Structure 1
């Protein structure tokens, strides 16, 4: 029994010596939440998703005629535009762009790019009409909207009204 206790003690010392290496990686801490969220969307339920992490950031614009012209350009650029959600209540498009885009997004007079810690309500994958948010361009697992060409298209078409003041009010940002 002494040998078994000694082996167990040695194993414990080895585990202890691993230190932080045996703790879950910081980017894995929310993995279960992310998986539950994506499964909810796939199961055709609307769900709130935290931006950033390894999923996506969002560019917010008007959903008017000029923004729809930008979607047509992105259709050409991408061979079918990446995912875009329409929120008819606010009159906004939510363009899903790669995670980290908000950190690199140059200020734009007609669009705002947000990442963590903000959230977005994603409609179920089969929702293509109101009520509530719906997919203007459906989400595909293999693509997001590229931020550079999107920035250029939005600069060209200048969708109005701009979301800046309404977002600032919604987020409680004052100048």
Structure 2
């Protein structure tokens, strides 16, 4: 059995796409997965699966959510090793920053620098971003809500063809902890 985190994009935000966490847990259990837990109301679930890969697990969860709740939700599934590698590879001094200043955007597929070539990095300083393995690290000293760079990075033409969902550093670390072997 492998433990995974499912990252659901855009649920329970602003009163739309409401999915109760108890319902999400039941839905994931109904798909045959074990040890299902949720974290916060904003779309993180952890579960153990003995079959499938990240892409097939995400697709199955996406289909089940739409069938159960009547609306589509983008889902990214990642295992513990990947989540830990992302946290360990952080190019910013995470230990010296407040969690609200550091975010990771998880992508459904690899991204390269060419996709973000149009972004004028100097114009947004002291905000910065760096790319990792299917991830983008964002340093926003005033937080995500005030970040002009975050707005630029989330433009549809930069994320075209991808699922992208962002988590603050506390959530990044919590998902590593929750998916760790017991």
Q: Does the TM-score normalized on the shorter chain lie above 0.5?
A: no
Greater strand share, structure number = 2
Which gives a bigger RCO, structure 1 or 2 (Cα 8 Å, sep 6+)?
1
TM-score by length of 1: 0.29
Q: Give the greater-gyration-radius structure (CA).
A: 1
